[in-house]
Structure 1
Amino acid sequence: MQAAVITDFALPPVYREHPEPVVAGENEMLVDVLAAGLHHLTRSRANGSHYSSSGVLPIVPGMDGVVRDTSGRLRYVVLDDPALGTFADRTVIDARRSVVLPDGVDPVRIAAAMNPGMSSWIALRRRIAFEKGQRVLVLGATGNSGRLAVQIAKLFGASQVIAAGRDRARLRELRALGADEVITFDEAEKAAGVDVVIDYLWGDVAAGLMLPMLRARPDRSVPLTWIQIGSMAGPDAAVPSAALRQARLQIVGSGIGSVPARDIIAELPALAAAVTDGSLQVQARAVPLSGIAENWEATVGERVVFVP
């Protein structure tokens, strides 16, 4: 079969022949891959920088995707940091880490939306006790995950969603997706009254925003929950000690390890339904897997989805 193979953490995958996968475990099944998204997580695992990376080469990247099982059913699957991922004609999955999809779904849309959408969906549903009527700031809202986070917060009943980013043109687009207000990073005081921050950036951006936001809060006794999901602005943030003392600030993380796999899997059918019925809008671009090297660094705009 054909697959994209990583043999050097510093280089993009190479599209080449690869041995056929073999089923070995009790709950495993051989599946045909129909569509697999190129996510930031996939790239960071493939270059060895993600905390969940095994560090062992060679690997076939691809941590999720839409597959067809031997009975002909479509499934969305999440793999557990495998040596053989979804950037291949076929792979082996653990059926317990998959959900059967309804008839009529678009595999490309599902593959494009599930991973970036899962980040905020799981954070709001499983990491904190989010309540309807709360106000949300999405920090890093112009990326694919941020665009979906704006929509998901509204879908879950947020009374106000503020989208923050650098690109003013892309920020303006978010109003059509449900953002009540769009701001740049030097306008932190406009988000001072939110209840929840969904943070895809971290780094100096998050550290620089915390104190101005907290000092501008109309009532510092009202809790502010800061959910750290991504680190596009840097893996480390020098959080001022004063930020933890002068307001009711709670910082939590949401990602692999902080949420049990069973809880993640339990949320997938509802997320897939929201993508399928149009409740969530996603930008997707299908690319043949043979073109992976040329599209490996694609980061802006439509989510790249590799297809056989």
Structure 2
Amino acid sequence: MHAAVVRSFGTPPRYDTFATPADSAPHEILVDVLAAGLHPRVRSAADGSHYTSDGTLPLIPGIDAVGRTQEGELLYFVAPDTALGTMAEHAVVDRRRAITLPAGTDPVAVAAAMNPGMSSWVALRRRVSFKPGGSVLVMGATGNAGQLAVQIAKHLGADRVIGAGRDPRRLDLLKSLGADEVISLDGDGDGDGDEVADRLGRTAADVDVVIDYLWGRPAQQAMPALLKARTDRSKALAWIQIGSMAGQDITLPSYLLRAANLNIMGSGQGSLATAGILAELPSLAEEIASGALTVDPLPMPLDQVEQAWSAPTAPGQRIVLTP
């Protein structure tokens, strides 16, 4: 079969031939892949930097996809953590990690949105007891997952959603997606971050949940700014760490954990059981298929995978490879 193949962690995948995998267990089936999203998680696996990477080469990238069975059933599935990913003409599907999609579902839209949408959907439904009427701050709201997080928080009943990010064009877009307010994380140029901290404290001090795709310096600025400005510091603030686009580490002063009710947690592989994540997929897929969430996929043929790896995207777009 043809596939995107990584033979060196220092170079992008190439369109190449690869042995067609075989379904070898009772719960496995071979499907024709229709669409596979090029997510940040896919890129980090392809360059060997993701924390789950074991260095195996060659590998086919891709962590999820939409495929069709020989009987015509349309499936969304999550690939196991092996070197055989989803960016190929065919893939083996573990039926325990797959859901059936309604007839007429757009495979490209589902492939584009399920992975980035899953992060905030699962976080708000599984990691915290989020209730309608609550408030959410999305750190890194100008990224693809962050834009979906703004929509999902509103969809799940948030009374107030605040989006924080750096790109001014994407910040403006957030208001059309449901953000009540936006905060620029661009500093004042003197390096101390006081202006950013002041904006965060004035605008988002009393939120109930922070969904954080950034970590690094923005999180290090935001935590003390929010907690010091809180009307009631004993009111719980759930900080859900999902991504680290701005840095892998922060310095966390110990007093913050004593002076306020700050609950820091992660949401991702390992912090949630696979069964818990999979249980949330049908409801999210339904919202995507119905058009309740705005999705902007950029489909590209699989044989253009090298170009896709560096192709520019507009705000809110996600590249989807179609075999």
Shorter-chain TM range is: over 0.9
Aligned residue number for residue 239 of structure 1 = 252
Cα offsets for 1:201-234 (capped at 9, x unmatched)? 0011111211111111111111100000000001
Match of 1:255 among 251, 258, 268: 268
Task: Tell me the secondary structure at the aligned position of residue 292 of structure 1.
Answer: helix
Q: Is the 8 A contact 1:4 1:60 kept in 2?
A: yes
Q: Is the 8 A contact 1:226 1:252 kept in 2?
A: yes
Provide the C-alpha distance between the structure 1 equivalents of 2:184 and 2:311, rounded to a whole number of angstroms: 24
Aligned residue number for residue 227 of structure 1 = 240
Structure 2: give runs of 5+ residues left out of the alignment.
Answer: 186-195
Displacement of 1:26? 2.0
Provide the C-alpha distance between the structure 2 equivalents of 1:298 and 1:257, rounded to a whole number of angstroms: 31
Provide the C-alpha distance between the structure 2 equivalents of 1:55 and 1:157, rounded to a whole number of angstroms: 42
Q: Is the 8 A contact 1:54 1:81 kept in 2?
A: no
- Give the alignment of 1:102-251 within 5 angstroms: 102-185=102-185, 186=196, 187-189=199-201, 190-251=203-264
Provide the C-alpha distance between the structure 1 equivalents of 2:162 and 2:313, rounded to a whole number of angstroms: 21
RMSD: 1.0
Provide the C-alpha distance between the structure 2 equivalents of 1:25 and 1:59, rounded to a whole number of angstroms: 21
Aligned residue number for residue 31 of structure 1 = 31
Task: Tell me the secondary structure at the aligned position of residue 304 of structure 1.
Answer: strand
TM superposition score normalised by structure 2:
0.93
- Give the alignment of 1:257-296 within 5 angstroms: 257-296=270-309
Moved more, 42-51 or 27-36: 42-51
1:78 aligns with 2:78: yes
Provide the C-alpha distance between the structure 2 equivalents of 1:20 and 1:5, rounded to a whole number of angstroms: 13
Cα distance 1:45–1:299, how it changes in 2: closer, same or farther (>3 A)?
farther
Task: Tell me the secondary structure at the aligned position of residue 296 of structure 1.
Answer: helix
Provide the C-alpha distance between the structure 2 equivalents of 1:303 and 1:211, rounded to a whole number of angstroms: 33
Provide the C-alpha distance between the structure 1 equivalents of 2:68 and 2:169, rounded to a whole number of angstroms: 39
TM superposition score normalised by structure 1:
0.98
Task: Tell me the secondary structure at the aligned position of residue 4 of structure 1.
Answer: strand
Provide the C-alpha distance between the structure 2 equivalents of 1:298 and 1:250, rounded to a whole number of angstroms: 38
Counterpart AA for 2:294: Q
Counterpart AA for 1:119: S
Seq. identity, %: 55
Displacement of 1:300? 4.4
Q: Which runs of 4+ in 1 moved over 2 A?
A: 297-301
Structure 1: give runs of 5+ residues left out of the alignment.
Answer: none
Task: Tell me the secondary structure at the aligned position of residue 41 of structure 1.
Answer: helix
Provide the C-alpha distance between the structure 2 equivalents of 1:86 and 1:39, rounded to a whole number of angstroms: 12
Cα offsets for 1:43-74 (capped at 9, x unmatched)? 11111111112221110000001000121100
Aligned residue number for residue 54 of structure 2 = 54
Cα distance 1:228–1:66, how it changes in 2: closer, same or farther (>3 A)?
same
Displacement of 1:298? 4.3
